[in-house]
Structure 1
Amino acid sequence: MKSTLIFFLIGYFSVSCCAQNSDKNDGKSFLPIVNFSSQQDRENMMNQLGIKTLRPGYSGDNKAPNRANSDQALANPFPNYPDPLIFNNGNQVMNPQQWDKRRAEIIEDFEREVYGRVPKNVPKVNWKVKVIDSEYIGFTPVIAKQLVGQLDNSNYPLLNVNIAMTLVLPANAKDPVPLLIMFGPSILPAPSQPNREDLELINHAVKDLLIKSNPELKAIFEKYPAYQPIASQNSRINPISARPIGDPPTAEQLIAAGWGYLLLDPTSIQADSGAELTKGIIGLTNKGQPRKPEDWGALRAWAWGASQAFDYLSTEPKVNIKKVGIEGVSRYGKAALVTMAFDQRFAIGLIASSGQGGTKPARRNFGEAVENLAGGAHYWMAGNYLKYAADQAKFGSKNANDIPVESNQLIALCAPRLTFISHGAPSMGDSNWLDHQGSYMATVSAGKVYKLLGAKDIGVSNDYKIEKMPSVNTGLLEGKLAWRQHDGGHTDAPNIKYFIQWANKFL
Structure 2
Amino acid sequence: MRKIAIYIWMSLISVSLYSQEVNYDENKVPDFQLPELLTTFHGKSINDASAWESVRRPEILNVFREQMYGTNPVHQVEVDFKLVKNKEKVLDGVADLKEIDLIFSNDQGKHTARLLLFLPAHVEGPVPVFLGMNFYGNHTIHPSASISLHQSWARDNPLFLISDQKVDDRSRGVRSSRWPVEYILSHGYGLGVIYYGDIDPDYDDEFQNGLHPLFYKKGQTKPTEKEWGSIGIWAWSLSRALDYLETDAKVDHDKVIVFGHSRLGKTSLWAGAQDQRFAGIISNNSGCGGAALSKRKVGETVKIINNAFPHWFNDYFTRFNNNEEELPFDQHMLISLMAPRPVYIASAKDDEWADPRGEYLSGYYAAPAYKLYNMQTPSTIKSPAINQPRMTESVSYHIRSGRHDVTRYDWAQYIRWADKYIK
Query: What is the letter of the counterpart of residue 468 of structure 1?
Result: K
Deviations 1:270-300 (CA, angstroms, capped at 9, x unpaired): 1111115122222221166022111111111
- In structure 2, which of residues 124, 127, 137 is the aligned counterpart of residue 177 of structure 1? 127
Q: Which residue of 2 aligns with 1:264?
A: 194
Query: What is the letter of the counterpart of residue 499 of structure 1?
Result: Y
* Cα distance between partner residues in 2 of 1:504 and 1:435: 28
Does 1:496 pair with 2:420? Answer: no
Structural mapping, 1:322-337, within 5 Å? 322-337=254-269
How many residues align structurally?
373
- In structure 1, which of residues 365, 368, 389 is the aligned counterpart of residue 300 of structure 2? 368
Residue 156 of structure 1 and its aligned partner are, at CA, apart by 1.7
Q: Is the 8 A contact 2:206 2:222 kept in 1?
A: no
Does 1:164 pair with 2:114? Answer: yes
Q: Which residue of 2 aligns with 1:407?
A: 331
Query: What is the letter of the counterpart of residue 174 of structure 1?
Result: E
Q: Which residue of 1 aligns with 2:389?
A: 475
Deviations 1:318-339 (CA, angstroms, capped at 9, x unpaired): 1001100111110001001111
* Cα distance between partner residues in 1 of 2:71 and 2:389: 35
Q: Which has the higher contact order (CA 8 A, sep 6+)?
A: 1
Deviations 1:401-450 (CA, angstroms, capped at 9, x unpaired): 11211100000101111111011121xxxx21111111111111012211
* Cα distance between partner residues in 1 of 2:93 and 2:349: 32
For the pair shown, the structure with the greater C-alpha radius of gyration is 1
Query: What is the letter of the counterpart of residue 192 of structure 2?
Result: L
Does 1:106 pair with 2:56? Answer: no
- When residues 248 and 156 of structure 1 are mapped into structure 2, their CA distance, relative to the original with a 3 A threshold, is closer
Deviates more, 1:270-279 or 1:254-263: 270-279
* Cα distance between partner residues in 1 of 2:195 and 2:250: 22
- CA RMSD of the aligned region, Å? 2.3
Q: Which residue of 1 aligns with 2:9?
A: none
Q: Which residue of 2 aligns with 1:444?
A: 364
* Cα distance between partner residues in 2 of 1:445 and 1:130: 45
* Cα distance between partner residues in 2 of 1:327 and 1:380: 18
Q: Which residue of 1 aligns with 2:167?
A: none
* Cα distance between partner residues in 2 of 1:495 and 1:65: 30
Query: What is the letter of the counterpart of residue 336 of structure 2?
Result: A
Deviations 1:224-249 (CA, angstroms, capped at 9, x unpaired): xxxxxxxxxxxxxxxxxxxxxxx995
Residue 373 of structure 1 and its aligned partner are, at CA, apart by 1.9
Residue 360 of structure 1 and its aligned partner are, at CA, apart by 1.1
The gaps in structure 2 that reach 5 residues or longer are 1-12, 148-176
Deviations 1:483-505 (CA, angstroms, capped at 9, x unpaired): 01111322232211111111111
* Cα distance between partner residues in 2 of 1:135 and 1:337: 33
Residue 458 of structure 1 and its aligned partner are, at CA, apart by 2.6
Q: Which residue of 2 aligns with 1:224?
A: none
Q: Is the 8 A contact 2:113 2:199 kept in 1?
A: yes
* Cα distance between partner residues in 1 of 2:14 and 2:296: 15
Deviations 1:175-195 (CA, angstroms, capped at 9, x unpaired): 2100000211223843469xx
Does 1:302 pair with 2:234? Answer: yes
Query: What is the letter of the counterpart of residue 318 of structure 2?
Result: L
Residue 65 of structure 1 and its aligned partner are, at CA, apart by 7.7
Query: What is the letter of the counterpart of residue 294 of structure 2?
Result: A
* Cα distance between partner residues in 2 of 1:474 and 1:163: 38
Query: What is the letter of the counterpart of residue 309 of structure 2?
Result: A
- In structure 1, which of residues 345, 348, 358 is the aligned counterpart of residue 280 of structure 2? 348
- When residues 265 and 65 of structure 1 are mapped into structure 2, their CA distance, relative to the original with a 3 A threshold, is closer
* Cα distance between partner residues in 2 of 1:470 and 1:66: 30
Query: What is the letter of the counterpart of residue 483 of structure 1?
Result: Y
- In structure 2, which of residues 16, 21, 32 is the aligned counterpart of residue 67 of structure 1? 21
Residue 128 of structure 1 and its aligned partner are, at CA, apart by 1.2
Give the alignment's TM-score, normalised by structure 1.
Answer: 0.70
Residue 269 of structure 1 and its aligned partner are, at CA, apart by 1.0
* Cα distance between partner residues in 1 of 2:178 and 2:231: 30
The secondary structure found in structure 2 opposite 1:380 is coil
- In structure 2, which of residues 21, 26, 35 is the aligned counterpart of residue 82 of structure 1? 35
Q: Percent identity?
A: 26
Residue 356 of structure 1 and its aligned partner are, at CA, apart by 0.8
* Cα distance between partner residues in 1 of 2:22 and 2:14: 6
* Cα distance between partner residues in 2 of 1:113 and 1:176: 39
Q: Is the 8 A contact 2:117 2:192 kept in 1?
A: yes
* Cα distance between partner residues in 2 of 1:76 and 1:290: 36
Q: Which residue of 2 aligns with 1:116?
A: 70
* Cα distance between partner residues in 2 of 1:489 and 1:133: 36
Query: What is the letter of the counterpart of residue 114 of structure 1?
Result: M
The secondary structure found in structure 2 opposite 1:161 is strand
Q: Is the 8 A contact 1:361 1:438 kept in 2?
A: yes
- When residues 372 and 96 of structure 1 are mapped into structure 2, their CA distance, relative to the original with a 3 A threshold, is same
Residue 383 of structure 1 and its aligned partner are, at CA, apart by 1.2
Give the alignment's TM-score, normalised by structure 2.
Answer: 0.83
Does 1:435 pair with 2:387? Answer: no
Q: Is the 8 A contact 1:271 1:280 kept in 2?
A: yes
- In structure 2, which of residues 289, 299, 318 is the aligned counterpart of residue 357 of structure 1? 289
* Cα distance between partner residues in 2 of 1:369 and 1:248: 26
* Cα distance between partner residues in 2 of 1:136 and 1:126: 26
Residue 76 of structure 1 and its aligned partner are, at CA, apart by 2.6
The secondary structure found in structure 2 opposite 1:326 is strand
Q: Is the 8 A contact 2:320 2:326 kept in 1?
A: yes
The gaps in structure 1 that reach 5 residues or longer are 1-58, 194-246, 390-397, 461-466
Q: Is the 8 A contact 2:94 2:182 kept in 1?
A: no
- In structure 2, which of residues 389, 399, 412 is the aligned counterpart of residue 485 of structure 1? 399
Query: What is the letter of the counterpart of residue 175 of structure 1?
Result: G
Does 1:142 pair with 2:142? Answer: no
Query: What is the letter of the counterpart of residue 364 of structure 1?
Result: R
